[in-house]
């Protein structure tokens, strides 16, 4: 009989593509992961992974088992949810990973709401960008991710995850005071093609939004300064170091001395924010109230 925990290890190896990375995500040693993979191959009677200098990839038999793994693990999540509901499930801890402005926009208000509506649920919050929080959910390091759509992100119909849309927000152009476009009511992105740019590092979902918006306007942004902290981005723009695109909610409460903030002319670049849980866990009596609270906070944001 195939053990479920070994299926979880198989999926982690498929996701992370090396035994070492999968072991780190699962808080196991690489040797333990290798031993479990070997045991799984013995249980199934098939070679499931192939190792090379570049990492690990699944064999055709491994891909077949992985497709069933997603369904099996989702069903186990549903079983846990139903058992928790049967046992009332009114008290416990839910861990939420979210990016900084997502914490301010929806997570913190949801925590406040749950303190009144579901006082038995304790929320633990971790600051993590969307490209980090989704793997954390899959690796069972956290229960809920508040993330942003980005290139390479698991799609909404990914069999491993359930997506719950929260909100979408535009990016505004941030230029130094005295910039040649500062007097315009809206800033055409194409007019910023020759400016130096300030933006998040590659890998940050907002980096993709900025680059795609500029590509749609017909140019590649010349990113001379990089920071994942939008306060630092705005400070650099204020110092005249360049121009930037910043999510509107990230500008709330920020010192905007020295910069001009303007909407983007035409179709504004937008980040779409969603919550994600392991498929099957969305009905868990601890997780369902958290998702509902996040949704209500997003509606009122």
Which residue matches tokens 């983007």?
A: 264
Block means of pLDDT (10 residues each) for the chain, 301 residues, are 84 88 88 88 87 84 88 84 68 91 94 91 90 90 93 86 94 96 94 96 88 93 95 96 94 92 92 94 92 94 71
Contacts of 46 (CB under 8 A, 6+ apart): 59, 61, 62, 65
Model confidence pLDDT, tens digit, residues 30-65: 888 888 888 888 888 888 888 887 788 889 988 889
The angle at the Cα of 68, spanning 39 to 36, to the nearest 5 degrees, equals 15
Longest CA–CA span in the chain (Å) reads: 70
| Alpha helices, DSSP H, located in 45-192 | 60-86, 100-102, 108-117, 130-138
- The predicted-structure confidence for 217-226, as pLDDT tens digits, reads as follows 999 999 999 9
Buried b / exposed e over 93-124, threshold 16 CB at 10 Å, is ebbbbbbbbbbbbbbebbbebbeeebeebebe
Q: Phi, psi at residue 132, to the nearest 5°?
A: -95, -35
CA dist., res. 262 & res. 137, Å (int): 36
């Amino acid at each position: 009989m195939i053990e479920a925990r070994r299926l979880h290890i198989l999926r982690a190896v498929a996701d992370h593509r090396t035994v070492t990375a999968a072991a780190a995500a699962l808080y196991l040693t690489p040797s333990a992961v290798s031993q479990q993979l070997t045991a799984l191959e013995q249980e199934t009677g098939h070679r499931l992974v192939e190792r090379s200098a570049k990492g690990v990839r699944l064999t055709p038999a491994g891909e077949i088992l992985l497709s069933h793994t997603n369904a099996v693990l989702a069903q186990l999540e549903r079983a846990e949810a139903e058992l928790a509901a049967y046992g009332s499930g009114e008290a416990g801890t839910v861990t939420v990973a979210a990016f900084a402005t997502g914490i301010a926009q929806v997570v913190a208000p949801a925590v406040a709401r749950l303190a009144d509506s579901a006082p038995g649920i304790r929320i633990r919050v971790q600051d993590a960008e969307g490209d980090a929080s989704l793997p954390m959910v899959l690796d069972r390091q956290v229960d809920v991710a508040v993330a942003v759509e980005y290139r390479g992100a698991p799609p909404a119909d990914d069999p491993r995850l359930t997506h719950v849309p929260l909100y979408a927000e535009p990016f505004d152009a941030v230029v130094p005071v005295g910039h040649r476009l500062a007097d315009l009511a809206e800033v055409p992105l194409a007019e910023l093609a020759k400016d130096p740019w300030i933006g998040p590092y590659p890998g940050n979902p907002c980096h993709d939004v900025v680059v795609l918006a500029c590509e749609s306007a017909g140019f590649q942004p010349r990113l001379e300064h990089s920071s994942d902290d939008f306060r630092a981005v705005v400070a650099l723009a204020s110092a005249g170091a360049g121009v930037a695109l910043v999510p509107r909610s990230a500008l709330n409460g920020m010192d905007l001395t020295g910069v001009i903030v303007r909407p983007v002319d035409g179709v504004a670049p937008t980040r779409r924010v969603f919550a994600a849980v392991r498929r099957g866990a969305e009905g868990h009596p601890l997780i369902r109230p958290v998702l509902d609270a996040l949704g209500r906070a997003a509606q009122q944001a």
